[in-house]
């Protein structure tokens, strides 16, 4: 499993309300993204926003962060996003009351 943290600085014309409204509008569009398990749409008082994505495979993440998605981010926010990919070793999920341990994926390639 892969986690991606994607961040971009919001331009001055996109305040809290505008960011929230946009995220609410586009959230359903992520239902059919290949390999995407979940996406958290995030905003910070520091003026940064983005997403925390949970992916099945690193190849799906890398494929998504190119082409139309990247062009749209640059067009809307005026910058390339910062994207950090992390391999997930374990998850503690208190809502389900379980702990998952994962085998090597990225490092073993």
Q: Show the domains of the chain with their CATH numbers.
A: 2-101 (3.30.70.100)
DSSP state letter for 28? G
Q: Is the pTM of this model over 0.75?
A: yes
Dihedral (Cα; 20, 36, 51, 95), 10-degree rounding: 80
Give the model's confidence band at 104: pLDDT under 50 very low, under 70 low, under 90 confident, else very high.
confident
Please provide residue 92's backbone torsions phi and psi, each rounded to the nearest 5 degrees. -105, 115
Per-residue CA distances from 80 to 9, 54, 95 (Å): 9, 20, 34
| Residues shown for the chain | 109
Greater confidence (107 vs 20) lies with: 20
Q: What pLDDT does residue 6 have?
A: 98
Q: What is the pLDDT of residues 45-84, one digit of tens each?
A: 999 999 999 999 999 999 999 989 999 999 999 999 999 9
Tell me the mean pLDDT in the region 79-98.
96
Is the confidence at residue 109, as pLDDT, over 60? no
Give me the mean pLDDT over the 7-30 stretch.
97
């Amino acid at each position: 499993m892969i986690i991606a943290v994607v961040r971009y600085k919001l331009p001055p014309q996109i305040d809290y309300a505008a960011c929230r409204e946009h995220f609410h509008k586009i959230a359903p569009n992520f239902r059919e993204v290949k390999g995407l398990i979940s996406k958290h749409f995030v905003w910070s008082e520091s003026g940064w926003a983005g997403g925390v994505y949970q992916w099945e495979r690193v190849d799906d993440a890398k494929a998504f962060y190119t082409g139309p998605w990247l062009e749209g981010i640059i067009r809307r926010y005026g910058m390339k996003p910062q994207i950090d990919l992390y391999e997930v070793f374990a998850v503690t999920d208190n809502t389900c009351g379980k702990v998952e341990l994962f085998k090597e994926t990225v490092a073993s390639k």
